[in-house]
Amino acid sequence: MPQRVFIKDLKDHKDREVTIKGWMFNKRGSGKIFFLQLRDGSGVTQGIVFKNDVSEEVFALAEALTMESSVIITGLVTAHPKQEDTYELQIRDIEVVQMVDEEYPISKKEHGTSFLLDNRHLWLRSSKQIIIQRVRNTIINSIYKYLNNNGFIKIDSPIFTPNACEGTTELFEVEYFDEGSAYLSQSGQLYLEAAIFGVGRCFDFGPVFRAEKSKTRRHLTEFWMMDAEAAFVEHEENMEIQEDLIIYVVEEVLKRNLRDLKTLERDIEPLKKIKKPFIRMTHKEAVDKLRKMGSDITHDMDLGGDDETILTKEFDKPIFIEKYPAEVKAFYMKRDPKDENLSLCADLLAPEGYGEIIGGSEREADYETLLKRIKEHELPIEPFNWYLDLRKYGSVPHSGFGIGLERLTGWICGRKHIRETIPFPRTIKRLTP
Ligand code: ATP
């Protein structure tokens, strides 16, 4: 059998006979010729079977091949006569690994999202879904790369936690042997705050869990979050790090997945405009603007999803909304020294109507103030004793932020709902497959 190659590398084997291993996802032709659409995980190509070029058995196999049958195909690599940079296989031999003998459930016709999600285990093979996972992979790797290159090391935070960042109402509770209840982590932030005293700058990247009953296109109950935390970084610099990170990620995707984005029909012009500086606006300015645009939001309110959509449609760059009223934000956020009612925080909203992709803030570093905040939020003190300890032994100004991977992927891929960006979405109504 000739050398086995991956479809993505066909360009390096022009005019040579090679073997590929994969699946046939579509077919057309009849009579004397068949065009097989082939996929092997690395890419897609077209295999051409001419009746005159192959044995009768091979031609009969091409005729009989059903959608999603797995195959080992041998053929000659040729350049596509019309499309640049595209290579095809003039098929010489077909070995069937498994012939699918039932009709494949996902056909070419339009299916409803609910049907597709019920068949997510199969939908993941569809070309757009493969691409979204590929872009997600680039995003993950570029986040690692950027952070590692900028002095952040990965510190893995636990998933079983005894206490909650912001109360327990939005947490999944599990029984934990004789210890009573544990909660699935909704963010590793507090643990990273401990780690910075050893390593200076760190991040985690893993699944987090939110039991909030939000049924929006932006909310999952299980999603992947990257939390970053840095010692001696204050509010301003915290935003600059986020800005540089997002620019780097978008550049990497444009470099590595340009073709993929085109196949997704993602307009790449808005992505090319993601340059420094991002827009900065205080919560007060945002509310004033939104009210002028017809929203009934008031100055003491958090921005709702609809507000974020309206606001981000106005601009072609991401927007930092800074300094929210402290009462709508978490207890650990440092207050603005210029106005104690505001938090030194910023949410980063992605443009084109996407909305929040990052939440970040400077953290309260003073022991007494933090203790007061815990009490004000009516949180139990005992579980936070270790967290308070961090303010006793060499406390320093520090800041951090959390990126939702699915929201970032959703925006970059131009998908309306983030559930398509995670392999197996978990929402209030969905736990399978
Ligand atoms: P929102 O107000 O939109 O519900 P949040 O303020 O609760 O989000 P954070 O706690 O700051 O969000 O989480 C950090 C990031 O994690 C968010 O900016 C977002 O990208 C992502 N995120 C938060 N909740 C969800 C969710 N339920 N599903 C997917 N991603 C989420």
DSSP 171-201: S-EEE-GGG-EEEE-S-SHHHHHHHHHHHSE
246-262 confidence digits (pLDDT tens) = 999 999 999 999 999 99
C-beta pairs of 232-237 under 8 Å, 24+ apart in sequence: 232/200, 232/396, 232/397, 232/398, 233/201, 233/362, 233/397, 233/398, 233/399, 234/344, 234/362, 234/397, 234/399, 235/322, 235/334, 235/344, 235/345, 235/346, 235/361, 235/362, 235/399, 237/399
Say whether pLDDT at 167 is over 70. no
Question: For a pLDDT cut of 70, what percent of the chain falls above it?
Answer: 99
Domain shared by 162 and 262, yes or no: yes
CA of 357 to the centre of ligand 1 (A): 7
- The average pLDDT across 99-124 equals 93
CA of 218 to the centre of ligand 1 (A): 8
Domain shared by 61 and 130, yes or no: no
Write out the two tokens for 181. Answer: 């209840």
pLDDT of residue 166: 58
CATH number of domain containing 169: 3.30.930.10
Domain shared by 235 and 92, yes or no: no
12-57 confidence digits (pLDDT tens) = 999 999 999 999 999 999 889 999 999 999 999 999 999 999 999 9
Instruction: Characterize the bridge pairing of strands 153-154 and 201-209.
Output: parallel
Say whether pLDDT at 67 is over 70. yes
pLDDT of residue 109: 81
Tell me if 107 is assigned to some domain: no
pLDDT of residue 107: 83
- The average pLDDT across 209-229 equals 94
Domain count, the chain: 2
Domain shared by 189 and 62, yes or no: no
pLDDT of residue 168: 66
CATH number of domain containing 19: 2.40.50.140
Cβ neighbours for 116, distance < 8 A, ≥ 6 positions apart? 106, 123
Protein residue closest via CA to atom 1 of ligand 1: 356
Atom of ligand 1 nearest to the CA of 302: 2
Question: For a pLDDT cut of 90, what percent of the chain falls above it?
Answer: 91
Domain shared by 374 and 226, yes or no: yes
pLDDT of residue 299: 95
Domain shared by 275 and 405, yes or no: yes
- The average pLDDT across 95-122 equals 94
Question: Which residue among 98, 128, 151 closes a domain?
Answer: 98
Instruction: Characterize the bridge pairing of strands 17-30 and 33-39.
Output: antiparallel
Domain shared by 303 and 357, yes or no: yes
Ligand 1 shell residues, CB under 6 Å:
210, 218-220, 223, 225, 356-359, 402-404, 406-407
Domain shared by 62 and 210, yes or no: no
Tell me if 106 is assigned to some domain: no
CA of 186 to the centre of ligand 1 (A): 10
332-390 confidence digits (pLDDT tens) = 999 999 999 999 999 999 999 999 999 999 999 999 999 999 999 998 898 899 999 99
Tell me if 2 is assigned to some domain: no
- The average pLDDT across 84-108 equals 94
413 exposure class (CB count in 10 Å sphere: 0-12, 13-18, 19+): buried
Domain boundaries, position 89: 7-98
Atom of ligand 1 nearest to the CA of 407: 20
CA of 404 to the centre of ligand 1 (A): 6
Tell me if 36 is assigned to some domain: yes
pLDDT of residue 330: 94
Pocket test for ligand 1, best of 307, 356, 417, 418 (most atoms within 8 A of CB): 356
Domain shared by 219 and 330, yes or no: yes
Domain shared by 255 and 303, yes or no: yes
Write out the two tokens for 387. Answer: 């967290």
Domain shared by 62 and 139, yes or no: no
